[in-house]
Amino acid sequence: MPRPAACLFDLDGLLLDTEPLHAEAWQRAASHFGRPLNPDELLALRGRRRHDCADQVLAWMAASASSDPPSREALLAVRQPIAEALLIQAPPIPGAAELVQRCAELNLPMALATSSSRAAVNLKAGPHPWLDHIRVRVHGDDPQLQRGKPAPDVFLLAAARLGVAPERCWAFEDSPSGVRAAHAAGCQVHVLAPAHLSDGQRRQLYPHTERFLTSLHEVVDKLNTSG
């Protein structure tokens, strides 16, 4: 298998193990307003921009007779301090640091294609200097980003900033919305799905996906054996 022209990385749940922490923050904030979230709803929030997640949670609250939705600002005012206290503790996903380091050694162009804001990325990345190898970054609040995942914009913009056609890029994702975005951009998509999902759930949540990973170490091995 030939090496890609570039690698485009999601951050949350792909390079850093933040998704359980994000889920806890959304759960605690939603429960504060009387509407706990179920596991399917928490999964649906993965990979999306903060304001898009907040709007989705508010829509679920509005559809529930048991709660009176707050404003987006009020919801985020509860959620953000919880998230910031949790996310600073996020460890790397196994194999993530090795993968980024190997791409750097191979001079393989890399970009971050994340729904997280610049400030949130700086907070989470602070304890992980290996992420400094990824210098090109598209954040969820990037002024040139018109639409968040599952729209393809973040991957198209990341590829454009690297000067590489999207179809020549390997895109790495973990969330259903992110995978849809990467497919729509035309990338070659590698999916690190949550380990608890069954084969049937993976096929349902990630249609048209052929490259499922059990570990990012697999990609390091691919890069070492490809030319």
Question: Which residues are designated catalytic?
Answer: 10, 12
| Amino acid, single-letter form, for residue 187 | C
Task: Report the candidate in 36, 23, 165, 9 with the shortest Cα–Cα distance to residue 90.
Answer: 23
Burial bucket for residue 137 (CB in 10 Å: 0-12, 13-18, 19+): buried
Could you say which DSSP state residue 14 is in?
T
What is the Rg, in whole angstroms, of the alpha carbon atoms belonging to the chain? 17
Task: Report the candidate in 216, 201, 225 with the shortest Cα–Cα distance to residue 7.
Answer: 216
> How far is Cα 202 from Cα 194, in angstroms, rounded to an integer?
9
Contact 181, 152 (CB under 8 A): yes
> How far is Cα 105 from Cα 52, in angstroms, rounded to an integer?
36
